[in-house]
Amino acid sequence: MKVVILTFSFNDWLSAAVLLERLDGALTSANREAEMVIVDDASTEPRPDGFGKGPYRALRSIEIVRIAQNLGHQRAIAVGLCHAYTERAFDSILIMDADGEDLPADAIRLIETAESSGNAQAVFAARSRRSEGPLFRLFYQLYRITHYLLTGRGIRVGNFSILPKRLLAGLVVDPNLWNHYAASVFNSRLPRTTIPAPRGQRFQGKSKLNFTALVMHGLSAIACYGEIVGVRVLVGSMIVSALVVLGIIIIAIIRFSTDFAVPGWATTAVGILLVILLQILGSAALFTFSILNQRKNSAMIPIRDYRYWIESIS
């Protein structure tokens, strides 16, 4: 099975160099070969002299695709996938981070799993253990709960995966790929499976992702399920509205059929509930019309537009 390995880097050349060395060792030990495509996400630090020169035994080629503007890692993946799909001949493409958190040994496991299943489905690495601190894990669990409530789908995977080229054909025309790779695969209902894989430690330095970038990353994943989220928000708004109306009816019954009353309390309570009801209905209507409006607007098609972002290939 011919494999292309896609990774991405922003000012993280030292980690990428270590990854190349360890990947080459893991592939050699498994008696396999692969080609590398590294997407340079408009790094501001120059590439070190001799980067990618090797010598390597299992890496047959190393191609660096430089993007003209920093797009973030999800859109860097989209550009890399479209470039590989258009320019490379391969059976499967493996996507992994260049910082060391995706282990080369697990990359071999992904390749072997894909091969044993006839290269018929996407294989994702499901995180069986995380290496981040307790605060990150807390917010991550809150995000997982929010993601499930809004989309109805759990989340346990990231970018680390292998995908057959024939499945990539449908993915590169999906506008959601421009926002979030894993979510676009799941939302497209492509055949897939997972294998457990712990998250490794970074080779060098610290992550470039700050809190704002992490929040945007999470929202981008949810945005891929925009229509599902819209329906769930609408249904939730109707349920809450029904509860508010029920509250108003109960207040009216208490006010006119019992002696349990404080002067003016019923008017105040009903007024507050009516304000809440109007806000819920207005927000739900605005969100619904926003989703419907997006359906008629032309979207960014990755395979059509990705070339505009490529500055150079070396």
Token couple for 111: 């390749």
pLDDT lower than 70: segments of the chain: 128-133, 136, 205-211, 213, 259-264, 287-298
Residue ranges of domains in the chain: 3-208+301-313, 227-296
Q: What is the pLDDT of residue 5?
A: 97
pLDDT in tens, 176-198: 899 899 889 988 889 999 999 88
Which residues touch 279 (CB under 8 Å, ≥6 apart)?
A: none
CB atoms within 10 A of CB 206: 7
Q: What is the pLDDT of residue 209?
A: 63
Enumerate helices (H) and strands (E) in the chain, giving the number of each.
10, 8
Q: Strands 192-197, 122-127: parallel, antiparallel or unpaired by DSSP? A: parallel
Q: What is the pLDDT of residue 33?
A: 95
Q: What is the pLDDT of residue 234?
A: 80
CA distances (Å), 184 to each of 46, 74, 173, 221, 253, in order?
32, 11, 11, 8, 50
Helix (H, G, I), strand (E, B) or coil at 123: strand
End-to-end CA distance of the chain: 25
Q: Enter the CATH code of domain 3-208+301-313.
A: 3.90.550.10
pLDDT in tens, 9-22: 999 999 999 999 99
Distance CA 277, CA 251 (A): 15
Helix (H, G, I), strand (E, B) or coil at 311: strand
CA distances (Å), 151 to each of 138, 230, 293, in order?
20, 9, 20
Q: What is the 3-state secondary structure (H, E, C) of 144-200?
A: HHHHHHHHCCCCCEEEEEEEEHHHHHHHCCCHHHHCCHHHHHHHCCCCEEEEEECCC
pTM of the model: 0.81
